[in-house]
Amino acid sequence: MTVSSNTRSRRKNLLLDIMLFVICVLLLMPLLLLIANGFKTPQEILVWPPTILPKDPTLENFHRVFSETPLFRWIFNSLSFALLSMIAIVITSTLAGYVVAKFQFWTINVIFTLFLATAIIPFEVYMIPLYFQVKALGALNSIGGLLIGYLVMSFGIFLIRQNVIAAVPDELIEAARIDGAGEFWIFWHIVVPLLKGPIAALSVLAFFQAWTTFAWPIVVLTRKTAFTIEVGLANFQSAYTVDLALLSAASAAVMVPSVLVFVLLRRSFVEGIAASGMKE
Amino acid sequence: MVSSALFAAPNSNLEGKDKVSRKKRFWFAIIAILPTFAIFGWVRMFPIAETLRLSLFEWNLLSRNKPFVGLENFRELFQDDQFLDAIINTAAIAFGAMAVTIPVSMVLAAVIYHRTRSRFAGFYETAVFIPHVVSLVPAAMAWKWVFDAKLGPLNRLIVAFGGEAQPWLFDPVLSVICIILLVSWQTLGYGVLIYLVGFRNLPKSVYEAARLDGANGVQSFFFMSVPLLKPITLYVSVVTLISGFNVYAQAFILASDTQGAPGRLVRVLVLDMLENSFQNFRVGYAAAEAVILLVIVLVLTGVQFGLLRQRGRK
């Protein structure tokens, strides 16, 4: 390759990099400004053009949010709901995915196919009858009630099944059986350690799914102390529509930690999502 | 198929032991999978069946009798202006978001893939993906400010460039466009991610050959990547459409003020359904709406499978 074409392609790449960089910053801009607005005084929030670094940063908005709303309570509710849902989904998906992959009993396969077929049905379709089931149990306004909608995940079973087929050789299981190992021992000591990657990916997916869900909690939770953070914020924003700085502070307080967690766990997350695209 | 491999025992030279271990294995499988199956039946199959059943009844939540009305709920729905408004808005949001997401995420993914070796590659992927993981409510609140008629940066930018400020969240058409923008901003990261997987799986040799034949980057994008990635485009389109038909939080935050300046309410399907069920106490009627949502989703999925199969046959 000649020198001139080399520099030309380098210049082109630099241009592409700048373009991508600008696009990324623009995409993040609403969130960055939201965070910045949380630290601004009511006067500075009206300034045009908006400042990304507040000139006179204040924590006043955060003080007010935490004193006027049970924000910590809401975060606690969301966290417990998301963690419990994650644990339930990981346990049910791992067990079921392993069985479906390695135990070829036709009864199990038929039922599994039936359940997998329901994966395309959105939650919103069967939310109302599910609400009455939760109500009958007296579990409205509780984390248990919320959880009922998020105990299983069809895609989770599918993800584990694919990974068991790809990563757990039959010979290994058979060898353990010949050595006299019990089935649960094999599952726990041989299969689970081989599935660390997919289990991590599934955990992150399940956690974020519960953390960000909106329609189900808004139906099940009506008491302020039982709100998840999403429902709490939504109600808060309709009550304080005029107080922009306060709303921004509340949103930022919730958003920043979850974005940080995402950036830390990015690889697992991306793996899980990418796997979902490879369905067929 | 399933029946021929009833028992997957590879080493069958241990005939005697085999029967015992088969039985043991069967019981392990049952015990391990039973909780999951039970939960599935309880929280998914049952309520789905209930939705279908309730849609044929009239039930006001309080009274004991639930008269069977057949398809009356559906007939009424198609004469209900609010429902028709909801379904038109929802369809506009779903198809609008798809029309924005597909081309933009494909081009972005192509450029990011091209710059895989850039030291910023990780940043690009993360930055594009963050809107997809941020909780809906804070994200919608950020955009609500962007679209704000008086204080919002969007109007100020328009005015700064000599345009005319628009009542973004107050106008019936503009507020739907705002929701489309918000939804697209959120699904973009998902689209880019799936397309990136697609680009990475494309055969490199074909591109190499095209380059030697003198095709430039834009040409090979349009004449090779676009057709080769068709299955992925189909998949992302259907996922975007289905999630678009379930839009709720975005409309709830962006376009439904209960206090202060009254923003215009953008009625969407899920909102209409919940309102009918829990405010108007018409559960059967709401279940009929849910059934319509189900039918839409099934049709979209069916179309996807049909198109994929057609491709496979060619």
Query: Tell me: the pLDDT tens digits for B277-289?
Result: 988 899 999 999 9
Chain B residues near residue A208 by CB distance under 8 angstroms: 133
Average pLDDT score over residue span A240-245: 75
Residues in B 19-58 with any Cβ partner in A closer than 8 A: 21, 24-26, 28-30, 32-33, 35-37, 39-40, 42-48, 50-51, 54
* Lowest mean pLDDT across A132-141, B74-83, B255-264: B255-264
* Lowest-confidence segment of A33-37, A49-53, B176-180, B309-313 by average pLDDT: B309-313
Q: Where is pLDDT greater, at B97 or A269?
A: B97
- Of A189, A222, A95, nearest to A151 by C-alpha is A95
Tell me if A81 sits within 8 A of A146, measured CB to CB.
Answer: yes
Query: How far is the alpha carbon of A230 from chain B, nearest alpha carbon, in Å?
Result: 6
With CB atoms and an 8 Å threshold, state whether B246 touches A214.
Answer: no
Task: Categorize the per-residue pLDDT at B4 as very low, low, confident or very high, splitting at 50, 70 and 90.
Answer: very low
For the stretch A182-196, pLDDT in tens is: 899 999 999 999 999
| A237: nearest CB among B30, B253, B274 | B253
A95 neighbourhood in chain B, CB within 8 Å? 32-33, 35-36
Burial of B168 (0-12, 13-18, 19+ CB in 10 A): buried
Distance between CA atoms of residues A60 and A142, nearest Å: 32
Q: Considering CB atoms only, which of B36, B125, B298 is closest to A152? A: B36
Banded pLDDT at A2 (limits 50, 70, 90): low
Q: What's the average model confidence in pLDDT over A136-151?
A: 95
How many Å apart are CA A132 and CA B164, to the nearest integer? 50
Residues in chain A within 8 Å Cβ distance of B135: 211-212, 229-230, 254-255, 258
- Tell me the count of A-B CB pairs closer than 8 A: 287
- B127 in reach of chain A (CB within 8 A): yes
pLDDT at A239 over 90: no
CA-closest candidate to residue A27, choices B160, B101, B247: B101
Per-residue three-class SS string for chain A: CCHHHHHHHHHHHHHHHHHHHHHHHHHHHHHHHHHHHHCCCCCHHHCCCCCCCCCCCCCHHHHHHHHHCCHHHHHHHHHHHHHHHHHHHHHHHHHHHHHHHHCCCHHHHHHHHHHHHHHHCCHHHHHHHHHHHHHHCCCCCCHHHHHHCCCCCHHHHHHHHHHHHHHCCHHHHHHHHHCCCCHHHHHHHHHHHHCHHHHHHHHHHHHHHHHHCCHHHHHHCCCHHHCCHHHHHHHHHHHCCCCHHHHHHHHHHHHHHHHHHHHHCHHHHHHHHHHHHCCC
Q: Where are the domains of chain A?
A: 3-58, 69-277
Contacts of A238 in chain B (CB under 8 A): 256-259
pLDDT for the residue numbered A242: 66
**Strand-pair partners of B68:** B57
Read off the pLDDT of each residue in B133-147 and give the average, rounded to a whole number: 89
What is the spatial distance between Cα A229 and Cα A246, in angstroms, rounded to a whole number? Answer: 15
User: Nearest-CA distance from B159 to chain A in Å?
Assistant: 12
Give the pLDDT confidence score for residue B258 in this predicted structure.
45
What integer is the mean pLDDT of B139-160?
87
- DSSP 3-state assignment of B98? helix
Window B:143-202, CB contacts with A under 8 Å: 143-146, 151, 153, 156, 185, 188, 190, 193-194, 197-198
- Higher-pLDDT residue of A251 and B260 is A251
Fold of B72-313: MetI-like fold (1.10.3720)
Given a cut of 70, whether residue A61 has pLDDT beyond it is yes
Confidence of residue A4 (pLDDT cuts 50, 70, 90): low
* Interface contact flag, B5 A105, Cβ < 8 Å: no
Amino acid (one-letter) located at B187: T
Give the number of C-alpha atoms closer than 13 A to the C-alpha of residue A49, restricted to the C-beta side.
7
CB-CB under 8 Å, A104 with B8:
yes
- pLDDT at residue number A107: 85
The span from the CA of A116 to the CA of B45, in Å, is 11
- What is the per-residue pLDDT for B264? 56
- Residue spans per domain, chain B: 16-54, 72-313
Residues of B with Cβ-Cβ distance to A111 under 8 angstroms: 37
Percent of chain B exceeding pLDDT 70 equals 90
Q: How far is B214 from chain A (nearest CA, A)?
A: 14
Q: Say if the Cβ atoms of A96 and B44 lie within 8 Å.
A: no
Domain A69-277 falls under CATH 3.10.20.340: no
